[in-house]
Amino acid sequence: DTEVTQTPKHLVMGMTNKKSLKCEQHMGHRAMYWYKQKAKKPPELMFVYSYEKLSINESVPSRFSPECPNSSLLNLHLHALQPEDSALYLCASSPLSGGVETQYFGPGTRLLVL
Amino acid sequence: GNSVTQMEGPVTLSEEAFLTINCTYTATGYPSLFWYVQYPGEGLQLLLKATKADDKGSNKGFEATYRKETTSFHLEKGSVQVSDSAVYFCALIDDKIIFGKGTRLHILP
């Protein structure tokens, strides 16, 4: 099973709302990632968690707050977003086994900020 | 630093045509190389990968060979189908994943 699941599939929120995106994997992977993808562009890395600890933050604004409650779950908390934050948000995971770190992506959450 | 360069799209082909999407990379060391595919409205799916020079990755009729001498990892398919219409991303992983800009492929029936 190489499945990463993400909920919700679509999300519309106002600039004063607080919402959360959820990502789950049951492959025993110990690294999890959040990416942002704008239309017709490749994904851009936002955050990396290794062994449930934040290891990389690519200078992401504080209105995005990641959380890794356990080794299978990754959340992205959203607060006071701007319309330019509208994008596809992708979660990914990889083994951290010492071998080739293939990343497996979820289907994404399409976010629209009004 | 590391980088990936893909041919610009969109690429439009007729069904059953031969496909090549060019990808070249710049890297210090010997990264692993990947092709990901993104169908309309979906996330990225791993299509194939190669971890060392001369390795050939293959999946669903697609192939790519890791060529260290030309620093290339071109994607090929002998006979494309309408269902292959998607965006294809070449990528390398060193300490983190580096994507090319993506190539949009349209297959006409």
The mean pLDDT of B69-88, rounded to a whole number, is 97
Is B42's Cβ below 8 Å from some Cβ in A?
yes
Burial category of B105 from C-beta neighbours within 10 Å (exposed 0-12, middle 13-18, buried 19 and up): buried
Q: What is the pLDDT of residue B83?
A: 96
d(CA A20, CA A33): 15
User: Quick one: pLDDT at residue A2?
Assistant: 66
Contact B22, B72 (CB under 8 A): yes
Which residue on chain B is closest to A5 by alpha carbon? Answer: B43
State the pLDDT confidence band at B96, using cuts at 50, 70 and 90.
confident
Give chain B positions within 8 Å (CB) of A101: 32, 93
Tokens found for residue B4: 């990936």
Q: Which residues of A touch B95 (CB under 8 A)?
A: none
DSSP A3: -
A113 Cα distance to chain centroid = 17
Closest CA to A89 of A57, A47, A53, A50: A47
Other C-beta atoms closer than 10 Å to the C-beta of A101 total: 17
By CA distance, what is B93's nearest residue in A? A101
pLDDT higher than 90, residue B25? yes
What is the band of B1 on the pLDDT scale with cuts at 50, 70, 90?
A: confident
Nearest neighbour of B46 by CB, restricted to A41, A56, A102: A102
Average pLDDT of span B20-41: 94
Write down the mean pLDDT value for chain B. Answer: 95
Q: Is B1 on the interface with A (CB under 8 A)?
A: no
pLDDT block averages, 10 residues each, chain A of length 114: 89 94 95 95 95 94 96 96 97 84 94 96
Q: Is the pLDDT of residue B29 over 90?
A: no
In A, minimum Cα distance to B32 occurs at A100
Location of structure tokens 């990968």: B49
- Confidence at residue B41, expressed as pLDDT on a 0 to 100 scale: 87
- Token duo for residue B28: 């210090």
Higher pLDDT, B95 or B15: B15
Picking from B44, B101, B102, the nearest residue to A90 by CB comes out as B44
List chain A residues with CB under 8 Å of B10.
Answer: none
Counting one residue from A and one from B, how many pairs have CB atoms under 8 Å apart? 47
CB contact under 8 A, A105 and B43: yes
Q: Are strands A104-105 and B3-6 parallel, antiparallel or unpaired?
A: unpaired
